[in-house]
Structure 1
Amino acid sequence: MLIDSHCHLDRLNAAPDQASLNQIMAQAKSQGVDYLLCVNVRQQGFEAMRDKVANFDNVFLSSGVHPLDVQEGLDVEQIRSYASDPKVVAIGETGLDYFYANETKTLQQQCFEQQIQLAVEVKKPLIVHTRDAREDTINRLKQGHADKVGGVLHCFTENWEMAKAAIDLGFYISVSGIVTFKNAGELRSVIRKVPKERLLVETDSPYLAPVPHRGKENQPAYVRDVAEFVAQLRGESYQDLAQYTSANFFNLFTQAAVIANK
Structure 2
Amino acid sequence: MLIDTHCHLVSDKLKDNLPTLLENAKKAGVQKIINIAYDPETIILAQEQLKVSNMLYVTLGIQPHDASKFTIEEAEKIRPIAQNNMRVVGIGEIGLDAHYTLSPMNKQIECFEYFLQMALELKLPIVVHVRETHKDVLTRIIPYSKRGLMGVIHCFTGTLEESKEFLDCGFFISFSGIVTFKNSISLQEVAKYVPENKILIETDSPYLAPTPLRGKINEPAYVHHTCDFISRLRNVEYDYFANLTTKNAESLFFRMHTPS
Q: What TM-score do you get using the length of structure 2 for normalisation? A: 0.93
The structure 2 residue matched to 1:62, chosen from 59, 67, 72, is: 59
2:38 maps to 1:41: yes
Cα deviations across residues 12-62 of structure 1 (Å, max 9, x unaligned)? 52541xxx3211111111110011100111123211221123221111111
* TM-align CA RMSD: 1.8
Aligned-residue sequence identity (percent) comes to 38
Cα distance in structure 2, aligned partners of 1:140 and 1:104: 17
Cα distance in structure 2, aligned partners of 1:194 and 1:34: 24
Please tell me the residue identity of whatever aligns with 2:119: A
2:248 maps to 1:248: yes
Cα distance in structure 2, aligned partners of 1:12 and 1:31: 23
Name whichever of 248-257 and 2-11 sits farther off. 248-257
Cα distance in structure 2, aligned partners of 1:86 and 1:233: 35
Cα distance in structure 2, aligned partners of 1:114 and 1:257: 20
Cα distance change, pair 22–44 in 1 and its aligned pair in 2 (3 A): closer
Cα deviations across residues 194-244 of structure 1 (Å, max 9, x unaligned)? 001100000000011111111110000000001000111111111110001
Contact 1:177–1:210 at 8 Å: present in 2 too? yes
User: Helix, strand or coil for the counterpart of 2:119?
Assistant: helix
2:216 maps to 1:216: yes
Please tell me the residue identity of whatever aligns with 2:232: Q
Cα distance change, pair 241–12 in 1 and its aligned pair in 2 (3 A): farther
Please tell me the residue identity of whatever aligns with 1:53: L
Contact 1:67–1:94 at 8 Å: present in 2 too? yes
Please tell me the residue identity of whatever aligns with 1:78: K
User: Helix, strand or coil for the counterpart of 1:174?
Assistant: strand
The structure 1 residue matched to 2:69, chosen from 64, 68, 72, is: 72
User: Helix, strand or coil for the counterpart of 2:113?
Assistant: helix
Unpaired runs of 5+ residues, structure 1, are: none
Q: Give the aligned partner of residue 133 of structure 2.
A: 133
2:118 maps to 1:118: yes
User: Helix, strand or coil for the counterpart of 1:163?
Assistant: helix
Q: How many residues align structurally?
A: 255
Cα deviations across residues 60-99 of structure 1 (Å, max 9, x unaligned)? 1111000110011233311212322221010010001011
Please tell me the residue identity of whatever aligns with 1:65: I
Contact 2:124–2:257 at 8 Å: present in 1 too? no
User: Helix, strand or coil for the counterpart of 2:5?
Assistant: strand
Contact 1:63–1:82 at 8 Å: present in 2 too? no
Unpaired runs of 5+ residues, structure 2, are: none
Cα distance in structure 1, aligned partners of 2:158 and 2:191: 10
User: Helix, strand or coil for the counterpart of 1:37?
Assistant: strand
Q: Give the aligned partner of residue 81 of structure 1.
A: 80
User: Helix, strand or coil for the counterpart of 1:188?
Assistant: helix
Structure 1 moving runs of 4+ over 4 Å: 255-258
Cα distance in structure 2, aligned partners of 1:192 and 1:236: 11
The structure 2 residue matched to 1:25, chosen from 17, 22, 25, is: 22
